[in-house]
Amino acid sequence: MQTIRPDTTLPEDVLGQLQGAMLQAILTSSALPGQSRPLDLPDLPQLLNQPAVILSSENLGGPIHLQDPTKPVYILTEEAIQERAQDEGSLLYLQFQPPQSVADGILLTLAIQVAQGQRGLPSLGMSGLQVTFQRKGKGWQATDETAAFAA
C-alpha cells in the first residue's frame, strides 16, 4: 500500500510547472513526458462545450503556462466561479487538489467540478485524473501510473 501525505516542500514554481504540464496534456489530448498514452479526463468533452476553460486558483502553485490553448483559459477564485455560475447558470471548471507526497514522487489530482447556478449550493464533483511525477535528473517525469475517477 502506498503512503500518501500532503506535500508542503515542493517549491511553488515547480508545482506550477507540473500543474501546467498536466493541464496542457489534458487540454491537447497529449501524453506527458514519461507516458506513452495521452491523458484522458472522462468528462472533458462537456467542459470543452463551454466557450472558455475555467481553472480554480485554489491549490495552484506558481504561474501556469500553456502553449496555444484551443480555448481561452481563465484562472478564477472559487468565489468568482460561484458568482459567475449564479449569473450564467451551472458552470463546469477544473480544480487541482493539494499535491501529495508518495514514496516515489508527487501525486497531482485534477478534477472537473460543477458550480451550481443557485446561491448556497456546493459545487459537485465530476471526473478527475491523478498523475504521479518523479524526479528524473534535473527535471520531472510522469509515471505510467495514471488513474481516472468519476464522482
Name the percent of the chain lying above pLDDT 90.
55
Kindly give, in sequence order, each residue whose CB lies less than 8 Å from that of residue 149, ignoring residues fewer than 6 positions away: 127, 128, 129, 130
CA distance 69 to 53: 10
Q: Give the model's pLDDT for residue 121.
A: 80
pTM of the predicted protein model: 0.90
Give per-residue pLDDT as tens, 56-74: 999 999 888 898 888 999 9
CA distance 29 to 32: 10
Name the percent of the chain lying above pLDDT 70.
95
Does the pLDDT at position 109 exceed 90?
yes
Name the residue with cell 460543477: 114
| Band of pLDDT at residue 23, cut at 50, 70 and 90 | very high
CA distance 92 to 19: 19
Q: Please check whether residue 96 is in contact with residue 108, taking contact to mean a CB–CB distance below 8 angstroms.
A: yes
Element (H, E) at 119: none
